[in-house]
């Protein structure tokens, strides 16, 4: 065959006919075309327009959005005490569990198969679970809730399930399973937890038109209360905090709306010119506490010479006073004008 004949462009009409015959053979019979050779994406056939008022769109879409944020992002489930991201982290840790530590970055990547909202939210949620020292056995620098120091990057720290988590969280045969957001994998709708984790860890979430704040409780007291429930006996529990402190729970109201818990730092007199803080209120850390003391000093509410923060495994904040300043009056002023006393309002949805 002549070389020029090889480079001849086929007749356009013949080519188009071949394309549409091939399409019909390959299952595209339902594609409708309007006009000669018009692409089916460019179908301009006139049809009846559906008019939807903006008010109707807002009502439907807002309710869908609000319910999604409440159920899928912000508010923990009462069945297992987890928000969706936390539950997916625990499920991923179980899938990866072989008794050895896993890099947190690896766990975060595995969790992204179930959680479509980015690695940052997963990493932060995992650090929060680890800092509560109940479900995750941590290795490396996971931050410090006392000082407010953040954890190291996820590529440097490691984690594995604690023995408590392995015993309490998982039971595949009675787990309610669903599918992941892309339909590729199975994930638990709720974990069959054998312990009141929601009360043990506490939880806080802000959704659309709804918020919740469940305060943490003492582990041993929860076990005793669980036994009393099984025996049909009355019980009463009150909040307990990792940061310790002194709590007034007289207005706790069982954690319902309108309740309030006052929490104070533990302040003692070391000598006639020195005060020492050894426990701090819930929802504060040594950094924010010292800042509030310095601001009160600048405003003239208290008179202090200097502050030393010696906090490590335990809180130790030294407050040095000027000669002649009353330690007792200074302690009263610290409670009145600084974050040494805070008020926490629980809110159970």
Q: Give the residue numbers annotated as catalytic, written as ranges.
A: 156
Which residue shows structure tokens 């006392």?
Answer: 146
CA atoms within 13 A on the CB side of 202: 23
- Bridge partners (DSSP) of residue 247 are 263
Rounded Cα distance between 107 and 97, Å, is 10
User: E-strand spans in the chain?
Assistant: 102-103, 136-139, 158-161, 176-179, 186-190, 203-206, 211-214, 246-251, 260-264, 266-271, 274-279, 306-309, 317-320, 341-344
Cα–Cα distance measured from residue 144 to residue 123, given in angstroms and rounded to the nearest whole number: 16
Quote the tokens at residue 24.
């019909």
Half-sphere exposure of 189 (CA within 13 A, CB side): 7
| CA dihedral (14, 15, 19, 20) positive or negative | negative
Pair of tokens at residue 314: 């335990």
């Amino acid at each position: 065959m002549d070389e020029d004949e090889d480079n001849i462009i086929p007749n356009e009409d013949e080519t188009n006919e071949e394309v549409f015959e091939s399409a019909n053979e390959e299952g595209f019979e339902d594609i409708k075309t309007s006009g000669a050779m018009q692409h089916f994406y460019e179908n301009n056939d006139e049809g009846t327009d559906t008019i939807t008022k903006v008010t109707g769109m807002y009502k439907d879409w807002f309710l869908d959005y609000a319910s999604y944020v409440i159920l899928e992002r912000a508010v923990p489930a009462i069945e297992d005490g987890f928000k969706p991201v936390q539950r997916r982290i625990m499920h991923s840790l179980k899938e990866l569990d072989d008794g050895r530590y896993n890099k947190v970055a690896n766990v975060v990547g595995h969790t992204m198969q179930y959680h479509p909202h980015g690695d940052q939210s997963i990493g932060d949620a995992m650090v929060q679970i680890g800092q509560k020292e109940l479900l995750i056995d941590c290795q490396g620098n996971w931050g410090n809730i006392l000082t407010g120091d953040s954890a190291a990057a996820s590529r440097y720290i490691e984690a594995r399930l604690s023995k408590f988590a392995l015993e309490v969280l998982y039971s595949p045969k009675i787990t309610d399973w669903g599918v992941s957001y892309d339909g590729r994998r199975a994930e638990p709708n709720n974990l069959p937890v054998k312990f009141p984790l929601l009360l043990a860890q506490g939880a806080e979430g802000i959704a659309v038109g709804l918020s919740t704040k469940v305060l943490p409780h003492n582990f041993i007291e929860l076990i005793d209360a669980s036994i009393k429930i099984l025996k049909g006996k009355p019980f009463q529990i009150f909040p307990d905090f990792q940061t310790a402190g002194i709590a007034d729970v007289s207005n706790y109201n069982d954690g319902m709306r309108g309740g309030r818990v006052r929490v104070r730092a533990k302040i003692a007199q070391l000598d006639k010119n020195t005060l020492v803080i050894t426990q701090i209120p819930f929802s504060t850390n040594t950094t924010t506490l010292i800042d509030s003391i310095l601001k009160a000093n600048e405003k003239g509410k208290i008179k202090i010479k200097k502050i030393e923060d010696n906090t490590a495994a335990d809180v130790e904040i030294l407050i040095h006073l000027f000669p002649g300043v009353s330690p007792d009056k200074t302690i009263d002023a610290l409670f009145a004008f600084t974050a040494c006393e805070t008020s926490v309002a629980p809110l159970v949805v």
